[in-house]
Amino acid sequence: MNNVKIQPVLVGGDINCYSVARAYHEAYGVKSIAFGKIRIGATNHSKIIDYREGTTIEDEEAFLKRLLALPEQEAEEGKVFIIHGCKDEYAEFIIDHKDILSTKYIVPYIDKELKDKLIEKESFYQICEEYNLNYPKTHVFNKGDEVVDFGFNYPVILKASDSVTFFQHEFPGMKKAYIVQDAAEFKQVTDEIYSHGYEKSLIVQDFIPGDDSHMRVLTCYSDKNGKVKMMCLGHVLLEEHTPKGIGNHAAIITEYDEEVMTKFKNFLESINYTGFSNFDIKYDTRDNSYKVFEINLRQGRSNYYVTGSGNNIAKYVVEDRVENKELELKIQKDPFFWRVIPRSVVYKFVKNKDLVNKCKQLASEGKEATSFGYKYDLSGNIKRSWYIFLYSINQIRKFNKYCK
């Protein structure tokens, strides 16, 4: 890269942030700067992250000023700053301020106009209709609506159309998504949600049968010209089952499905999408179709399944936006096993024993990785190693408690 020096700037402090920092360090040997509200275990005591706490998105003006000031404070000849949001609200913030941030950073994101069409599930499903993407039967419920016949039977899935706004109004017992068994429970849950300040619509969906292994996750990178250059499809083995962690991936095997990948590639290029996209999809055995739940306008929380399988996410951004290379399309075909939980948890709780055996085979062949298992960061780092040990123990405890 001649005299160019890459400086990743990450907003957030969770496993998403750590995985992006790891990708940059593996590819370029650089230490990422990360901003977050408080220090949390996922990024604490890391040798690959310069973590700067005390940044809150609630004060948008101060938050933006701090981000804009950084490139001048860290100025160095040939240094290029690249910014990534590692949670939905941070990605949205970066997109909303893309014009001004682009004066200091490379900002590999879509524009606000497209974001506003994709970010709320209600409008996203309208776009799915236009581009022939399958999604679950859906009813939009607004505050004050009567509980009606949705056109599909209970149980139903209930979740916020705008998850960022939803989580700004926390309350005890809050869940990312609810499985509602009947009309009485539906009224109870919706009354509770709307009594705590959330005002936007709720999404009611047909419950697609099947355990975690019916889920898929698709991560893509689209270059600055809106052309898809990387696709990595993951077959989810296990998700977290804690109330707020439902839907967070815990173990994945990459797989290849040409039909699914072609459909989503055409969709992304038709809307001129740029940057990382991440889709949550479920296989419906009732009609043998894949149905999309949502699009995340960023790399996913489990993004190390992509880097670990041979598709380093940092390299796509740098080669596209810094080096201005014409990238080849890379579609992941070879299987790879990623996890953020101990193998023993995967082997115990994945019900499909063929998948368990596949995991064991990939592990024995060295085709396996964990997000936190970075030897460089753990070597001689007692505090970090101790955290990872306790994290693993806690995962065993949580799965034994919540995964039935």
**Cα separation, 252 vs 212, whole angstroms:** 10
Q: What is the pLDDT of residue 345?
A: 97
Percentage of the chain exceeding pLDDT 70: 100
Q: Confidence band (pLDDT; 50, 70, 90) for 308?
A: very high
- 3 state SS for 241-271: CCCCCCCCEEEEEEECCHHHHHHHHHHHHHC
Residue 188 in tokens = 């109870």
Q: What is the pLDDT of residue 1?
A: 56
Q: What is the pLDDT of residues 127-153, one digit of tens each?
A: 999 999 999 999 999 999 988 889 999
Q: What is the pLDDT of residue 85?
A: 97
Q: What is the pLDDT of residues 310-346, one digit of tens each?
A: 999 999 999 999 999 999 999 999 999 999 999 999 9
Residue 53 has a CB neighbour count (10 Å cut-off) of 14
Q: What is the pLDDT of residues 164-189, one digit of tens each?
A: 889 889 899 888 889 999 999 999 99
What torsion, rounded to 10 degrees, do the Cα atoms 174, 404, 354, 155 define?
A: -60
Q: What is the pLDDT of residue 397?
A: 95
Burial pattern 391-400, b for ≥16 Cβ within 10 A else e, equals bbeebeebbe
**Cα separation, 106 vs 82, whole angstroms:** 5
Q: What is the pLDDT of residue 57?
A: 79
Q: What is the pLDDT of residues 39-53, one digit of tens each?
A: 999 999 999 999 999
Check whether the bond before 209 is cis (ω within 30° of 0): no
Q: What is the pLDDT of residue 2?
A: 59
Average pLDDT over residues 236-252: 89
Indicate the SS3 state at residue 366.
coil
Q: What is the pLDDT of residue 6?
A: 97
**Cα separation, 175 vs 400, whole angstroms:** 19
Q: Confidence band (pLDDT; 50, 70, 90) for 270?
A: very high
Helix and strand element counts for the chain (H, E): 15, 16
Q: What is the pLDDT of residues 199-208, one digit of tens each?
A: 999 999 999 9
Q: What is the pLDDT of residue 94?
A: 97
Indicate the SS3 state at residue 358.
helix
Instruction: Report the phi/psi class of residue 151: left, alpha or beta, with left for phi > 0 and alpha for psi in -120 to 50.
Output: left
Cβ 298 vs Cβ 194: under 8 Å: no
Which residues are CB-contacts of 401 (< 8 A; sequence separation ≥ 6)? none
Q: What is the pLDDT of residue 245?
A: 80
Average pLDDT over residues 348-355: 96
Could you identify the residue written with the tokens 């072609």?
A: 262
